[in-house]
Structure 1
């Protein structure tokens, strides 16, 4: 962590994410998480990656693929190891309470830089991954209600899809809940259960980027992105890139 702190302190721009990405890659390998990638993440800075959320392990997967910061609800800080992981990923933890909306907008606005990327899990929660929960349109107001000095962002939808767990494809009875973390599950017990298994295969689909226009209707945008993200869950099997 001291080395990461020095990078954040003295190295600006996307270079500050070199060590976190390496760290997440090592952690992903230690957890025996295999990742199948469809499409290409946008390489330029100023990208808001928007997608669904299955588990705390998603941050490890995406952190190994992207040079990015994450936006997460503040109760995730209480998950085992999440404070350390969040610091490594330079996560912006936000409150979902309505009375905190102004403070949240200020905190997120401070992170909006044209050379940085952000990941937004737009469901506002985690799910089993069998479907994509409705996107919280209120989250998009953080990016659409900005003044003219705020840089234009490009949105890139992504889909997280669990393919197999412990060597067994989900279609053949694989234990989805060993990876997916949702509902009343206990974080510590969930992590320990996963560590006793032989890992999982997760597919990440990066969809075509979308230019973000100031003043867009957030509800229409949320519905449009939800449709794109959901579509990959029912897509037929296609060739996979390493």
Structure 2
């Protein structure tokens, strides 16, 4: 593993210890079955949906994402995102694999994911066919190509969703927004839209039950999600931050705009009190 790879101290043993109210076993089985049906339907429909023009395509993606969340027993509270014409770099704190459909339910777009996601059963092919840009986090030399791919998508007017912490955190703790991918916004001139993701119980208490951290297994995480009673996911789309002008000069000067964007986006997310 590369020494530059962002890591989080969160583990299932240290972070997933809080008890949450659970539903009975038959309800868990029903939720899991519904989840699989919606996943397979999404996999089957992806080629047709990708061929649609932007408006109808995004509407169908939002509908599918919300249906997936309902199947899991998750109540999604998503305020309509502020209008952003054309490409926008959507950046969010990262807690769980659930973050991806949650954000898609509000603002569909191409996502950036680690290459390991390709190997996930059903979910892997689905996100790959959906046009996900994959990042090999163990090979630093591939990063410029990934940034270039995101830049071209933004220039083409497509929203791109990234999680700049570089790893999942349990929600009680958070990571620093890494600046590398903000270079795509600088080069394309696209605005950056910070997003805050929170998970709560029906009574308003914060919960880390959906957190997917450390060596946690995907199946174990899914089983935990379908077990929770009254799981609420809140997604807050914050005002967009304009990209600064590209600077010329010394290399350190050229890196400054993306660092400024990363700091501003992280400050906006942290100001919501997650």
How high is the TM-score relative to the length of structure 1?
A: 0.80
Alpha-carbon separation, structure 2, partners of 1:20 and 1:40: 15
Match among 162, 175, 189 for residue 199 of structure 2? 162
Residue 233 (structure 2) pairs with residue 202 (structure 1): yes
RMSD value, Cα: 2.4
| Structure 1 residue 134 displacement after superposition | 0.2
> What CA distance in whole angstroms lies between the structure 2 residues aligned with 1:134 and 1:46?
24
Question: Would the aligned equivalents of 1:13 and 1:115 in 2 still touch at CA under 8 Å?
Answer: no
| Secondary structure of 1:55 counterpart | coil
Aligned match for 1:133, one of 175, 194, 208: 175
Q: Paired residue for 2:50?
A: 8
1:70–1:120 contact (8 Å) kept in structure 2 = yes
- What SS does structure 1 have at the residue aligned with 2:91? strand
SS at match of 1:103: helix
The residue number in structure 1 matching 2:92 is 51
The answer to whether the Cα contact below 8 Å between 1:54 and 1:128 also exists between their aligned partners in 2 is: yes
Deviations 1:97-156 (A, max 9, x none): 212123323432342344321111111111111133101111212332x3xxx4x31211
More strand by share: 1
- 1:203 match: secondary structure: strand
CA distance in 2 between counterparts of 1:194 and 1:30 reads: 11
SS in 2 for 1:41: coil
Residues in 2 aligned to 1:225 and 1:212: alpha-carbon distance in whole angstroms: 11
Runs of at least 5 residues in structure 2 that lack an aligned partner in the other structure: 1-42, 247-255
Question: Could you tell me which residue of structure 2 aligns to residue 214 of structure 1?
Answer: 245
Tell me the TM-score normalized by structure 2: 0.72
Where in structure 1 are there 5+ consecutive unaligned residues?
A: 235-242
Q: How does 1:1-242 map to 2 (within 5 A)?
A: 1-9=43-51, 11-38=52-79, 40-87=81-128, 89-96=130-137, 97-144=139-186, 146=187, 150=188, 152-164=189-201, 167=202, 169-170=204-205, 174=207, 176=208, 178-198=209-229, 200-215=231-246, 217-233=257-273
Point out 4+ residue stretches in structure 1 off by more than 6 angstroms.
none
Aligned length: 222
SS at 2:273's partner residue? helix
The 1-side partners of 2:214 and 2:145 are apart by: 27
CA contact (8 A) 1:50 1:156 kept: yes
